Structure 1
């Protein structure tokens, strides 16, 4: 087999519409030369800075990336005997459709989420992909392979988002989405497991502190006894109370409730979040309806024509998942708007939202001595760890009483 050599080439004859030039890998074998794109486009000045003796900042990153591509190319060449350009094209990746890049797998997963009618999750991943593309543009990269998602790349991405004013919460969401895509790539054989960049002694996704989202008993009582000033406040308050009394039911699940879900004083439903997760064993959640919850159904429920009718009339029978999602978001926005006003009128210590009702339900049961296992089941959680994130710390008064027991020697 003849010698195979590689070299990076800055193609000044192939100027793009954005006034950048492609950087390509040239492979030479038996006097035949082939060129392979590496997903990097630079200006003439940037190329000079990248290839200088001591490149700085982003030009140093370009230089490191080019070196890694060349190293991967040489490693690929060593695996091929006898050498052929076609086999190199497939194994190396380049612009080959056989090797998926990050953007492609991202989009494919978003398409799957939409097909499974997981519209909100798909929207979240779409935002993460938009962010990733913006960072690629910042790096002057048209394409990135999964081998490019290194600890350094992730740290740079995090810092770039911080510079853009993104919150730690948003950064965490985008990076967890990217981590899922990387895991898919490993499963599909697009990345070797030993190159996985996340985890212990590698890159750790930043986490926010668990902000207090639950109300204490006296503040829940204030909401319960609050006299609304108009119908919109009244409905917002009642839907908040309904969530609180019905196992902290997510509003999407409330909107999907039908009259046939009610039987003998209880409502049984499957959480949308777990129903769409693809798990084999999905447990239904059963809620015993207190008189107050039944009164809210009586007050705000649509006139029943069929037991298959939606109780609260948020959805129409023929609504698409996209339409349902828009209606849910609008209803939640309206409820939160008026609950915020109620919270301000009552001078409550935290912002009141539909999530506050769910967290308060779980925390009130905990404070009443109910087991975490029961709370977990009633919330529809898969494991106790998830439930623990919902449970607020005990009030200071409870902590003090418990501490006094240390000196109770009777």
Structure 2
């Protein structure tokens, strides 16, 4: 359907009996109005010529303003049509009043970060805020345009992160992912054209380096569980770590939020913090034995099993995240001490509980079952994750060749 743009005097008077000058946009028979900001008496409006009559004391200025607004509206419309953008009259109005093409990397990144924060995706919010600041600090500009973010810019940015910031290769890729996300948003919003996209074949490729995942052996887990020379703080850190391990490497943020009321019929029922999935897992006897040490502090079903969240402001996601990070840092400190006492030369952290479950499970458990235990949305993620710990076929192949 054709789009029309006209200036007219809208038939809605204000309290003084004056009528507003507007730009009217009609698309698919649906009108939208942009108010120019001036009201006049009807007697001063020339309907045939669509301009203010000379008898008005400010006719020249008003007619110049009308001409400018009309030209601006038509220019925006032509640009949108040349980009094959099929949009409504309301969207055209929005673009005229607040042109997307005027938005830069800083503007769009603020919108993106506000969206993450509003949706309570705080881990990603804090991580991506640092990455956005890396780009702005490197460019030394708060008005960096997307057309400036070309292949040369990105290669210099990658060198800057590696040499000046000492950032790992994986973290460099994470920075590029954020830039790519924002660039895709900019293209969809009409801020920049597709031809300026700096990623893809023969351009900047985003490929995550293989990460080394090391888990403990059965013997090392037994050494931790059976050590009787630990301090009270170390025993608590061990309990949380083992509880996580016994439940297939449950994330520490989920472990700390478990309440007594979440356990019934011999099962743990909880909602994952990462993707809000509802899950139900049978509690192994070893996990039941661990939580029995905390029964004395239980007063009601709504109490947390582990103490770290007892003073958290549960209405504040930021406070919950802060207390989770503080607890994790504390646990990792004591786990390092436990590793020394148990003569384990591998790095022992809360996250290693997940790697340890993967290492010990190896290829003993069907991949579909592991997907459920790990709470992965995609089985491909499980296959890639578990490939770090399954070496039976390669080992047997080597032995067959070298067995002479």
Asked if these proteins are the same fold (TM beyond 0.5), I'd say: yes
Change (3 A) 1:227 1:169: farther
Query: Quick check: 1:323 aligned with 2:325?
Result: no
Residue 60 of structure 2 aligns with which residue? none
| Equivalent residue pairs, number | 315
Change (3 A) 1:321 1:396: closer
1:293: Cα distance to partner? 0.8
Residue 137 of structure 2 aligns with which residue? 134
Asked if the contact 1:236/1:338 (under 8 Å) is kept, the reply is yes
Asked if the contact 1:269/1:286 (under 8 Å) is kept, the reply is yes
Asked if the contact 1:125/1:177 (under 8 Å) is kept, the reply is yes
Residue 112 of structure 1 aligns with which residue? 115
1:63-78 to 2 correspondence within 5 Å?
A: none
Residue 98 of structure 1 aligns with which residue? 100
- Note the residue ranges of structure 1 that are not aligned, 5 or more in a row: 1-82, 276-281
Residue 154 of structure 2 aligns with which residue? 154
1:8-47 to 2 correspondence within 5 Å?
A: none
Residue 307 of structure 1 aligns with which residue? 301
Matched residue SS, 1:287: strand
Residue 234 of structure 1 aligns with which residue? 235
Q: Aligned partners of 1:353, 1:156: CA distance in 2, in Å? A: 34
Asked if the contact 1:335/1:353 (under 8 Å) is kept, the reply is yes
Matched residue SS, 1:305: coil
Q: Aligned partners of 2:216, 2:192: CA distance in 1, in Å? A: 46
Q: Deviations over 1:368-407 (max 9, x none)?
A: x101221111111111222234326457788544654689
Matched residue SS, 1:285: strand
Asked if the contact 1:168/1:206 (under 8 Å) is kept, the reply is no
Asked if the contact 1:285/1:379 (under 8 Å) is kept, the reply is no
Change (3 A) 1:344 1:169: farther
1:7-406 to 2 correspondence within 5 Å?
A: 84=71, 98-99=100-101, 100-137=103-140, 141-164=141-164, 165-205=166-206, 207-275=208-276, 282=277, 284-300=278-294, 303-315=297-309, 316=311, 318-319=313-314, 320-367=316-363, 369-391=364-386, 393-394=388-389, 399-401=394-396, 403-404=398-399
Asked if the contact 1:363/1:392 (under 8 Å) is kept, the reply is no
Q: Deviations over 1:24-75 (max 9, x none)?
A: xxxxxxxxxxxxxxxxxxxxxxxxxxxxxxxxxxxxxxxxxxxxxxxxxxxx
1:214: Cα distance to partner? 1.5
1:309: Cα distance to partner? 2.5
1:121: Cα distance to partner? 1.1
Q: Aligned partners of 1:402, 1:349: CA distance in 2, in Å? A: 29
Change (3 A) 1:193 1:350: farther
- Which segment drifts farther, 327-336 or 342-351? 342-351
Give the TM-score normalised by the residue count of structure 1. 0.69
Q: Aligned partners of 1:184, 1:175: CA distance in 2, in Å? A: 14
Asked if the contact 2:230/2:338 (under 8 Å) is kept, the reply is no
Q: Aligned partners of 2:293, 2:173: CA distance in 1, in Å? A: 41
Give the TM-score normalised by the residue count of structure 2. 0.70
Change (3 A) 1:402 1:327: same
Residue 12 of structure 1 aligns with which residue? none
Asked if the contact 1:247/1:287 (under 8 Å) is kept, the reply is no
Change (3 A) 1:264 1:111: same
1:357: Cα distance to partner? 0.3
| Larger gyration radius, structure 1 or structure 2 | 2
Change (3 A) 1:226 1:392: farther
Asked if the contact 1:259/1:308 (under 8 Å) is kept, the reply is yes
Matched residue SS, 1:272: coil
1:212: Cα distance to partner? 2.6
Asked if the contact 1:216/1:395 (under 8 Å) is kept, the reply is no
Report the aligned-residue RMSD: 3.0
1:191: Cα distance to partner? 3.1
